[in-house]
Amino acid sequence: GQQLNQSPQSMFIQEGEDVSMNCTSSSIFNTWLWYKQDPGEGPVLLIALYKAGELTSNGRLTAQFGITRKDSFLNISASIPSDVGIYFCAGQLGGGSNYKLTFGKGTLLTVNP
Amino acid sequence: GAVVSQHPSRVICKSGTSVKIECRSLDFQATTMFWYRQFPKQSLMLMATSNEGSKATYEQGVEKDKFLINHASLTLSTLTVTSAHPEDSSFYICSAKPLAGSYNEQFFGPGTRLTVL
């Protein structure tokens, strides 16, 4: 099925550094979601974005819904070891019964203490 | 709130047997539940969309006779992998979209690791 272009694929950073990752799509989405997945577990919702241009924060996390509706980024500030995991973006058209999510390939984050 | 459970968390079965996986929304009712499959180091791939009381909608390339989905209530959906084979070994994850509210978030279960010998 269709996938989003998510980058980078992986990141190795030192504790305390800031991190940025993004997703782009060739088609428009009406909702962007960011999830974190730990090994052997299901994804956990971090941030949901519903309006083009929207900037939303959740603690050290900040995400933006691109103005063109074809992209989104996630920033993590002052990273800590427990930020390790795989981060996925997901786009959704929404409306009617079209609530399917299209996922990016994920960004593997490693934080060195 | 918004907790989704899956049972079992992991299952090992012999080739040719059928395996049923349950997905429950514990503290909310779900209009729609989704079933995903995830191979190691890969992203989640949607298999099917399940609406309570109606037939599931399968994604292209997913065999509906192989992966039977039943959505009996607003809190329970089941996925049955029929006549499982080693290539069906994977991590199966469900998600649920809450009935209430205007938001479109999906909340995911913890996943079920299926190993077919």
B103 reaches A (C-beta below 8 A): yes
> Cβ contact (<8 Å) for B51 and A42?
no
Label residue B31 by pLDDT band (50, 70, 90): confident
CA-based radius of gyration for chain A: 14
Chain mean pLDDT for chain A:
92
State the Cα–Cα distance between residues A8 and A83, nearest whole angstrom. 16
Kindly list the residues from chain B whose CB atom is less than 8 angstroms away from the CB atom of residue A1: 45-46, 59-60
Q: Kindly give the pairing relationship between strand A107-112 and strand A10-14.
A: parallel
> Cβ contact (<8 Å) for B95 and A101?
yes
Give me the mean pLDDT over the B80-100 stretch.
Answer: 93
State the Cα–Cα distance between residues A19 and A13, nearest whole angstrom. 8
Q: Cα distance from A23 to chain B (closest Cα, Å)? A: 14
pLDDT exceeds 90 at position B72? no
pLDDT at B101: 65
* Both structure tokens of B70: 């039943």
Among the partner residues A41, A88, A106, nearest to B110 by beta-carbon distance:
A41
Q: Cα distance from B75 to chain A (closest Cα, Å)? A: 18
Give me the mean pLDDT over the B92-103 stretch.
Answer: 83
pLDDT at B52: 84
What is the count of residue pairs from A and B with beta carbons less than 8 Å apart? Answer: 61
DSSP annotation of B41 reads T
**Within a 10 A sphere around the Cβ of A32, how many other Cβ atoms?**
29
The model's pLDDT over A24-41, given as tens digits with 9 standing for 90+, comes to: 999 899 999 999 999 999
The model's pLDDT over B39-63, given as tens digits with 9 standing for 90+, comes to: 988 999 999 999 888 889 999 999 9
Exposed/middle/buried for residue A56 (C-beta within 10 Å: 0-12, 13-18, 19+)? middle
